[in-house]
Amino acid sequence: MPAIEKDRGKKKRAAAVAEKASPILTVATPKASKKGSSVLREDCYRILDEHDKANPKEDPNLSPEVLLKMYRGMAFVRAFDERGMMLQRQGRIGFYVPSFGQEAIQIGTASAYTNDDFVFPSYREPGIFLYRGADLFEMICNLYGNSGDVCRGRQMPVHYSFADIKMFSVSSPIATQVIQAVGAAMAFKIRKENSVAVAYCGDGGTSENDFHSGLTFGGAYQAPVVFVVTNNQYAISVPVCKQTAARRIADKGAGYGIPSIAVDGNDVLAVHKVMSEAVARARAGEGPTLLECVTFRMGPHSSSDDPSRYRDEKLYEAWKKRDPILRFRQYLSDRKLWNDKKEEQLQAEMKAQIAEAIERAEKLPPPSTDSIFEDVYAEPTPQLKEQQKQLRAEEALRGKFENSSEAFPL
The whole-number pLDDT of residue 1 equals 32
Same domain for 342 and 204: yes
Give catalytic status of residue 200 as yes or no.
no
| Any domain includes 251 | yes
pTM: 0.90
Q: Which of 89, 154, 247, 310 is catalytic?
A: 310
Which residues form the domain of 388? 369-401
Q: Which of 83, 132, 301, 311 is catalytic?
A: 301
Same domain for 317 and 228: yes
Same domain for 351 and 246: yes
| Any domain includes 18 | no
Same domain for 110 and 94: yes
Same domain for 383 and 357: no
- Give yes or no for a contact between 270 and 52, defined as CB atoms under 8 angstroms apart: no
Q: Which of 46, 159, 297, 327 is catalytic?
A: 297
| Any domain includes 17 | no
Cα gap 191→9, rounded to integer Å: 36
Same domain for 391 and 307: no
Same domain for 171 and 91: yes
Phi-psi region of 153 (alpha: psi -120 to 50; beta: other; left: phi over 0): left
The whole-number pLDDT of residue 37 equals 59
Per-residue tens of pLDDT for the chain, all 410 residues: 333 233 334 444 444 444 555 666 654 444 434 434 589 999 999 999 999 999 999 999 999 999 999 999 999 999 999 999 999 999 999 999 999 999 999 999 999 999 999 999 999 999 999 999 999 999 999 999 999 999 988 889 999 999 999 999 999 999 999 999 999 999 999 999 999 999 999 999 999 999 999 999 999 999 999 999 999 999 999 999 999 999 999 999 999 999 999 999 999 999 999 999 999 999 999 999 999 999 999 999 999 999 999 999 999 999 999 999 999 999 999 999 999 999 999 999 999 999 999 999 999 998 988 898 988 899 999 999 999 999 999 988 888 777 665 545 55
The whole-number pLDDT of residue 375 equals 87
The whole-number pLDDT of residue 402 equals 73
Give catalytic status of residue 297 as yes or no.
yes
Please tell me the total count of domains within the chain: 2
| Any domain includes 26 | no
Cα gap 301→124, rounded to integer Å: 9
Same domain for 279 and 214: yes
| Any domain includes 409 | no
Same domain for 394 and 333: no
| Any domain includes 376 | yes
Same domain for 393 and 334: no
Return the biggest CA–CA distance within the chain: 93
Same domain for 385 and 276: no
| Any domain includes 24 | no
| Any domain includes 410 | no
Give the count of beta carbons closer than 10 Å to the beta carbon of residue 2: 7
Q: Which CATH number fits the domain that encloses residue 65?
A: 3.40.50.970
Q: Out of 344, 361, 378, pick the residue that ends a domain.
A: 361
Same domain for 229 and 134: yes
Give catalytic status of residue 329 as yes or no.
no
